[in-house]
């Protein structure tokens, strides 16, 4: 039950992420920062893809993904189509991983320490859905604030 709910939420919000990235009228606006907005939508998108590809794909799905977290926030001007492809790849990784994941393992300890304390796999997956939604909201506000300035 929880596994299927998580899959639905990840798919819903990653599709929303793709939609937000597609809605930027000017592709350059994906990379703008202003005032106290320190992270561009492009960098937040890279961060979300890296986060999910690591904690779901690599750790649970046993993919070969190698994360470079620093680049998630320092890379600039990645083409919109490349961001969208990264989102699509992440959707595939999550679906494949969760489709093949034994739901009984949700109660087991997550294989690596992510926080200052140990968590269950289920806890971490729920955390990842809220993390995705948090940054998705930031991207939505970023798009509307940046584009409203022009």
Quote the CA–CA distance of 70 and 60 in Å, as a whole number.
22
Instruction: Report whether pLDDT(87) > 70.
Output: yes
Model pLDDT for residues 113-149, shown as the tens digit of each residue: 999 999 999 999 999 999 999 999 999 999 999 987 6
Q: List domains and CATH numbers for the chain.
A: 2-148 (1.20.120.450)
Q: Report the percentage of the chain scoring pLDDT > 90.
A: 94
Alpha carbon distance, N-terminus to C-terminus of the chain: 46
Quote the CA–CA distance of 121 and 14 in Å, as a whole number.
20
Q: Given this model, what pLDDT does residue 150 score?
A: 55
Q: Given this model, what pLDDT does residue 148 score?
A: 79
Which range (30-39, 102-111, 120-129) has the least confidence? 30-39
């Amino acid at each position: 039950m929880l596994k299927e709910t998580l899959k639905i939420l990840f798919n819903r919000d990653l599709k929303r992420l793709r939609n937000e990235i597609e809605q930027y009228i000017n592709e350059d606006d994906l990379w703008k920062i202003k005032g106290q907005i320190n992270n561009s939508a492009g960098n937040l998108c890279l961060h979300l893809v890296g986060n999910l590809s690591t904690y779901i794909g690599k750790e649970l799905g046993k993919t070969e993904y190698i994360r470079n977290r620093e680049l998630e926030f320092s890379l600039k001007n990645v083409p919109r189509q490349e961001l969208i492809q990264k989102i699509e790849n992440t959707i595939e990784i999550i679906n494949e991983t969760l489709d093949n994941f034994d739901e009984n393992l949700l109660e087991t300890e997550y294989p690596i320490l992510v926080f200052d304390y140990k968590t269950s796999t289920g806890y971490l997956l729920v955390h990842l859905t809220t993390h995705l939604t948090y940054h998705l909201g930031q991207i939505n506000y970023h798009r509307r604030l940046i584009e409203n300035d022009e």
